[in-house]
Structure 1
Amino acid sequence: MGRDKIQGSKRAGSKRQDRHVPTVSEGAGIKIPELLAPAGSPKALHAAVCAGADAVYLSGQNFGA
């Protein structure tokens, strides 16, 4: 398929306007996607960090979905 044409937050040909991929700046202006991992338990948090997650999302017991 080659290189996808991505401009702004919309993939070329997509009907959805709300797609967004957070990026992390690295080096000379090169941007890579940010890896965001869920942590439903302390064990999952540890695994996500050890696996190289850039960010981890978690919530308190009364705030989770």
Structure 2
Amino acid sequence: MRARPDLTTARWRKSTYSNGEAADCVEVADGLPGLVPVRDSKTPTGPAVTFGAPAWTAFVDDLVT
């Protein structure tokens, strides 16, 4: 089992792919090499999902094409 990354000092920002509505806000954190943590901005103390950078890039590319 892989250890969970420490996200206590993560710098979260609203994803540019969020639509700006209160119901659809996704935040991502930068600065973790090779990883992209993602969370729901409405529950900032809730869980985060961590993607490998290549998987996140493929996901975002599929959304915008």
Q: Normalization by structure 1: what TM-score?
A: 0.19
Structure with greater helix share of residues: 2
State the structure with more CA Rg: 1
